[in-house]
Amino acid sequence: MDVCSLPDKKETAMGSICTLRIYPQRLHAPPIQHVYLFLFWGGYRTIFIAFYLLAIIISDFPTYLKHQQHGYYRALGASGGTSATVFASIIIMPLRDICLFGILCLPGFLLGGLFLIYSYNKGKQGEDGINHDAHLFGAIFGIAFIILLSPSSASNFLQEILSYRFF
């Protein structure tokens, strides 16, 4: 993985943000596969690539603004793009289970909501060296992108959640 560092005083901001390399990941989780197929079907490859790259850049931008004066700060990976993809799948299929370590399985909208709360709180604390803000803003980007791409997905999401029964 490449380290995307924030610029020190001699570097330009654009040079540090744009030096990313994306490594393909296996898409084993069915909700992720559905988003992948939804975006790739019918020649949407360019949209998916733009979605993923924009999610990485946009999700890291708030962190860049937050730490632009901290030359020691380093951020790693493409977790904002992954978070965007997962949350886009949650909008498309909110009742589909997402499992943590194959043990704890919850409907996507519940686990997604818990993840957003967790990411927000951990991002505020900023104590563990993980870019939780990238996870949070990646998720927000994924939700916004899929709703802009398919506006009916928002009403379908709400209908499915309102029909959900806990027991």
What residues does each domain of the chain span? 3-163
Q: Express as a percent the part of the chain with pLDDT over 70.
A: 73
Q: Is the pLDDT of residue 81 over 70?
A: yes
Instruction: Kindly report the pTM of this predicted structure.
Output: 0.71
Task: Please report, rounded to a whole number, the percentage of residues in the chain having pLDDT higher than 90.
Answer: 31
* Burial annotation 47-82 (CB, 10 A radius, 16+ → b, else e): ebeebbeebbbbbbebbbeebeeeeeeebebbbbbb
Per DSSP bridges, beta strands 97-100 and 104-107 are antiparallel
Looking at residue 35, its pLDDT comes to 65
* Separation between Cα atoms, residue 22 and residue 56, nearest integer Å: 9
pLDDT digits (tens, 9 = 90+) for 52-66: 889 988 888 888 888
The residue that leads in pLDDT, 155 or 100, is 155
Would you state the pLDDT for residue 22?
A: 37
Please report, for residues 48, 51, 69, 110, the alpha-carbon distance to residue 142 in angstroms, rounded to integers and kept in the order given: 11, 8, 28, 16
What is the CA 93 to chain-centroid distance, rounded? 16
pLDDT number for residue 133: 86
Nearest to 79 by CA among 31, 36, 125, 20: 20
pLDDT in tens, 109-133: 999 999 999 999 888 887 777 788 8
How many alpha carbons fall within 13 Å on the CB side of residue 69?
1
